[in-house]
Amino acid sequence: MSAATKEKEAGPVEIFRKDYMQPANFVKEVRMDFGIEEGKTTVKTELLVEKNSNSKHSKGDLVLDGGKGWREAQTERSDDCMLLQHNK
């Protein structure tokens, strides 16, 4: 049983404002390009993400939890930018 399923069965949990913390990163910009063809749709998404220097959690790496199949593109990388591609 997944954690989400267990949480639903337990009922709603009260969350207070004091329990929230500043995010480690901000998404500053989102670009989406949709390619719609017969029997196939391709979505290309680019996120501009910036570390939040005011967060005590911004010291670590940015971890994307999007499932398997992601890899770093070999063609585009700099000290402050990395392109990730998803392979099916």
Kindly list the domain boundaries of the chain, sorted by start residue.
19-86
pTM of the model: 0.51
pLDDT in tens, 26-71: 888 888 999 999 999 988 888 888 888 888 776 767 766 665 666 6
Q: How far apart are CA 46 and CA 61, in angstroms?
A: 18
Q: Which residues are paired to 84 by β-bridges? A: 72
C-beta neighbour count of 84 within 10 angstroms:
13
Sign of the Cα pseudo-torsion (59, 65, 66, 71, in order): positive
Q: How far apart are CA 86 and CA 26, in angstroms?
A: 22
3 — pLDDT class (breaks 50, 70, 90): low
